[in-house]
Amino acid sequence: MSHPVTIWHLEQTSRAALSPTAEPAAEQDVRIVRSEVPSPEFSRFLYTAVGGDVRWTDRLAWSYARWAEHLAQPGTETWVAYERGTPAGFIELQAQPDGAVEIVYFGLLPAFRGRRIGGHLLGYGAARAWDLAERWPDRPATARVWLHTCSDDGPHARANYERRGFRLFRTEVTEEPEVETPGPWPGAGPVPATAAP
């Protein structure tokens, strides 16, 4: 079985296009840190935990060696948002030879959605895409930051990108197979307010 999926490709062609974002409340203690030591275990955890309920499937069959090879590529970076020390989401950047940087993956674990972390992480990650060459001197200066999102992603994904200054440059519709995805188990989601410390 399959289902139709609309894919939207968005881009920024100038750092000036990046819109500022509001930071989460101070008491949330949200920090964004680059995962500098390539870790297939950690990256696969982030991939399945964030993408399990939005049909991320393309990396599910990757071997440990394939993950390690991918993460070790110069110009590939994973930035992780933590709330009070707990991983809340991530953004993965990948430099391309023509001065473009792709936001390959971005998202939050279900329990952290709707808490002002996503816009902050996306804005921070897009800024790191624009200054990526400062950390990778063998890469050309960033001339374009781009990504794609689709109708299987969260209902607010495209709007979040557009609020950060990304503009649509291509739309396509394709058929995607129905695939079981690991990740958050049924019922995973926001923690009730009464359970917070």
**pLDDT, tens digit (0-9, with 9 covering 90-100), for 96-111:** 989 999 999 999 998 9
Q: Token digits for 7?
A: 């894919």
User: Which strand ranges, in their side-by-side order, compose the sheet holding 86-95?
Assistant: 30-34, 76-83, 86-95, 100-108, 144-150, 2-12, 167-177
Res. 55 pLDDT band, cuts 50 70 90: confident
Find how far residue 157's CA is from the centre of its chain.
Answer: 10
Res. 155 pLDDT band, cuts 50 70 90: confident
Q: How many CB atoms lie within 10 A of CB 117?
A: 22
Hey, where are the domains in the chain?
2-179
Burial class from Cβ neighbours inside 10 Å (0-12, 13-18, 19+) for residue 187 reads exposed
Segment holding 101, helix H or strand E: strand 100-108
Average pLDDT, the chain: 90
Query: Which is nearest to 25 in space by CA: 98, 110, 83?
Result: 83
Q: Is pLDDT at 140 greater than 90 in this prediction?
A: yes
Q: Is pLDDT at 191 greater than 90 in this prediction?
A: no
> Which CATH fold topology does 2-179 show?
Aminopeptidase (3.40.630)
Q: Is pLDDT at 186 greater than 70 in this prediction?
A: no
Res. 1 pLDDT band, cuts 50 70 90: confident
Q: Is pLDDT at 152 greater than 90 in this prediction?
A: no
CA distance 165 to 12: 7
Cα-Cα-Cα-Cα dihedral sign, residues 103, 48, 163, 82? negative
Q: What is the pLDDT of residue 187?
A: 55
What is the residue type of 38?
P
